[in-house]
């Protein structure tokens, strides 16, 4: 067989980092704010799950200040790897999702968002992973694959994992099959010309 070199000239879409969250403090804050906030209007949560989307902004909490400071250069690194223009960017919104037994988030993208940060504040063993839909699915269905099984890519997650990916990339979670809550903070990073 002739010698060959394989390479990918395109940027990686999914970037995984790890941060040492103060899990106990953040879990208590989520529980406290959930009881003081109205029920979520999110249609994406299914099963025993709830979301603060559209209500709370965890990136503004004093409890997440250190994490946001850590996240800023991480966003810059991924921004550069995506070859995005050097323009102003900021966290345009944030929320948390809580999944109890059988709770999950359904498939969706984040419209008008440059980068999504999915932050696993609490992810007990067996509480499910995140899944990303193959953006080339329509091209790959004409190849010898089984599209019903091979259009989703599973990324294992554990407490402290922080995933950054483009807002247009469709994703969902697996159901939580444990009796412990899975808590995920989501930060939307957006930009505009200065």
Domain 15-192 has CATH 2.60.120.620: yes
Which candidate, 81, 75, 113, 110, places its Cα nearest to that of 10? 81
Using the 8-state DSSP alphabet, how is residue 28 labeled?
H
| Statement: residue 8 has pLDDT above 60 | yes
d(CA 135, CA 142): 14
Sign of the CA dihedral with 94 first, then 103, 112, and 114 last: positive
Which pLDDT does position 193 carry in this prediction? 47
What per-residue string of b and e applies to 86-119 under the rule 16 or more CB within 10 Å gives b?
eeebebbbbbbbbbbbebbbeeeebeebbbbbbb
Calculate mean pLDDT across residues 20-30.
96
187 Cβ neighbours under 8 A, 6+ residues apart: 59, 71, 91, 93, 94, 116, 117, 119
The 10s digit of each residue's pLDDT in 74-100 is 999 999 999 999 999 999 999 999 999
175: tokens are 């159901």
Which pLDDT does position 142 carry in this prediction? 73
| Statement: residue 18 has pLDDT above 90 | yes
Which pLDDT does position 38 carry in this prediction? 53
The 10s digit of each residue's pLDDT in 40-79 is 557 889 999 999 988 889 999 999 999 999 999 999 999 9
Q: How many CB atoms lie within 10 A of CB 150?
A: 13
Using the 8-state DSSP alphabet, how is residue 177 labeled?
-
| Statement: residue 110 has pLDDT above 90 | yes
* Domain spans of the chain, in order of start: 15-192
Q: What is the pTM assigned to this prediction?
A: 0.90
């Amino acid at each position: 067989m002739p010698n060959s070199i394989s390479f990918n000239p395109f940027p990686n879409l999914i970037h995984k980092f790890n941060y040492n969250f103060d899990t106990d403090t953040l879990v208590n804050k989520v529980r406290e704010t959930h009881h003081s906030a109205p029920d979520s209007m999110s249609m994406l949560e299914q099963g025993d799950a709830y979301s603060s989307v559209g209500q709370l902004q965890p990136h503004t909490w004093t409890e997440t200040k250190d994490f946001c400071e850590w996240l800023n250069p991480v966003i810059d690194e991924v921004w550069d790897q995506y070859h995005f223009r050097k323009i102003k960017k900021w966290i345009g919104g944030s929320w948390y999702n809580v999944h109890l037994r059988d709770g999950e988030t359904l498939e969706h993208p984040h419209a008008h968002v440059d980068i999504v940060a999915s932050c696993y504040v609490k992810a007990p063993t067996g509480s499910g992973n995140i899944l990303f839909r193959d953006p080339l699915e329509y091209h790959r269905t004409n190849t010898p694959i089984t599209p019903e099984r091979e259009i989703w890519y599973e990324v294992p997650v554990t407490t402290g994992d922080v995933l950054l990916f483009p807002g247009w990339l469709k994703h969902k979670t697996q159901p939580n099959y444990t009796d412990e809550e899975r808590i995920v903070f989501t930060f939307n990073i957006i930009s505009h010309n200065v």
